Amino acid sequence: MTDVLTVRDTPISLQHPDRLYIDGRWVAPAGSSTLDVIDATTEETFFRVAETTPQDMDAAIAAARRAFDHSPWPFLEPRERAEYLRKLAAGLRARTEEAATFWTRQTGPVWRMSLGSISRVPNLFEYYADLADTYPWETLDTPEFAAFGAVVNEPVGVVGAIVPWNTPLSLAAYKIAPALLVGCTVVLKAPPEAPGELLILAEIADEIGLPPGVLNVVNGHRDVSEQLVRDPRVDKIAFTGSSAVGRQIAGLAGSRLARYTLELGGKSAAVLLDDYDLATAAASISQQECSLNGQVCMSLTRVIVSKHRHDEFVDALASTFGSVRVGDPFDPETQLGPLALAKQQQSVLGYIQQGIADGARLVTGGKRPAHLDRGYFVEPTVFGNVDNRSTIAQEELFGPVISVIPAENEEHAIELANDTQYGLNNAVFTGDVDRAYQVARRLRSGTVGHNGFKTDTRMGFGGFKQSGVGREGGIQGVAPYLESKTVLLDGTPTRFQ
């Protein structure tokens, strides 16, 4: 069965929306339930997929376990596995527009952002493929009580990868690419709200002949995710999502000493020092908050500015962010699209009302746009005079809402920035690069940018505190999928002579 859809001039198709990808085959699910995937702009169902049952998840885990324990996959040379990564990259590159269209319809990012972001995902697979020849898989040492010693890095085993609906393909790639490179096998649990791009990835895996069981792609709700986390056949969990769910996963995985990496929530601060131009900062922050319509864990949603400059900055931010054009994400003039889900729209609107009730000053936005009678839209919203301990300053809203917080001085600004349970991403705005570095070292977050929203996942990405455990991306993203083994021998093996 092929489900063909058309958006603007981009045809998108799924070969097997009624099946699951398990053990190298498209298999019928054990149950008859389906999942409706909703278009965030029209609020209409635009395709359906089979829903994973506990029996299906059990089969996927069994396939991954079998492929790891009884196939050559973990024992191939890294460069051999790297060739599969290159083929996955080529397949994704050929279907970039299709995957981007799924993403925009499911989650709401403007089309040009979707296209640009999806077009970079193949580069990630190629980056990890290139590490095959340079990563220190084996390190020789001089042991005290043996003739030969080496520390070898080996795959951790079966990986359960769980990704959210906001950026499913790129977040999956940061888990799958290093896991496959090192020789792990994977069960990927796609988000029920946004499975399209990951089903495309499964189709490509099937087309390139990835060995059976090495990558299994299923979907479903929290019950099957929890099953994946609890199963003793799964050696490691790689999760991206909320801090609340991350804590639950850490508890479940920790109870059986399973390995895990967690990329969790954020409430990131932009610290504006007094030498920086406010209009320039307002324009930069407004632009970055349009990214994925505010549905980004590392978004700079708390802006901390000196009290004597607060009102001037709020006016500048209200002018720039308030004038952002909201509408159809496929319209090239649109700057801000819809949120992904009806419940997310209601959640953000609820937070806005809470902010008003807590005494913050609503400067612009705060409701559904009057000119849009359908779609999960929320106006770009700015609050001023926000108490840093208030709900909207402390909790992750995941929508286009920016809180401006006054500080007494630079020292107080740093204290306010760090006064949160999160520590994912921050930024410092100043024309003095030395001050920028000094402040960056004092901000408790996994990334700190200068004069804007900046990340470089090839240098590693992750958070302090309740923003996560471990790092993804870059060479740092390989180690979480490895176990090190010390080998002590009475002589030197031929490969090292």
* Active-site annotation, residues: 263, 297
φ/ψ (deg, to 5) at 427:
-150, 150
- Give the span between the Cα atoms of 75 and 277, in whole angstroms: 56
Q: Which residues, including other chains, have CB under 8 Å from residue 395's CB and lie 6 or more apart? A: 267, 351
In terms of Cβ atoms closer than 10 Å to its own Cβ (0-12, 13-18, 19+), residue 257 is exposed
Query: What amino acid is encoded at 139 in this protein?
Result: T
122 token code pair: 């193949």
Q: What is the largest CA-CA distance in the chain?
A: 78
In terms of Cβ atoms closer than 10 Å to its own Cβ (0-12, 13-18, 19+), residue 298 is buried
Inter-residue contact 400 to 425 (CB < 8 Å): no
Helix (H) or strand (E) holding 25: strand 25-27
Query: What amino acid is encoded at 248 in this protein?
Result: Q
- Give the span between the Cα atoms of 357 and 353, in whole angstroms: 6
Sign of the CA dihedral 217, 223, 225, 230? negative
106 token code pair: 């499911």
What Å distances lie between residue 393 and 264, 305, 355, 416, CA to CA?
A: 17, 14, 9, 10
75 token code pair: 């024992």
- Give the span between the Cα atoms of 170 and 193, in whole angstroms: 16
* Residue among 223, 222, 202 nearest 213 (CA): 202
- Give the span between the Cα atoms of 136 and 182, in whole angstroms: 11
- Give the span between the Cα atoms of 497 and 488, in whole angstroms: 15
Around Cβ 78, how many Cβ atoms within 10 Å? 18
What residue ranges in 60-145 does DSSP mark as E strands?
Answer: 138-141
Inter-residue contact 400 to 380 (CB < 8 Å): yes
DSSP letter (8 states) at residue 464: S
What Å distances lie between residue 495 and 78, 135, 138, 140, 190, CA to CA?
A: 16, 17, 11, 12, 41
Inter-residue contact 371 to 382 (CB < 8 Å): no
* Residue among 388, 395, 380, 394 nearest 287 (CA): 380
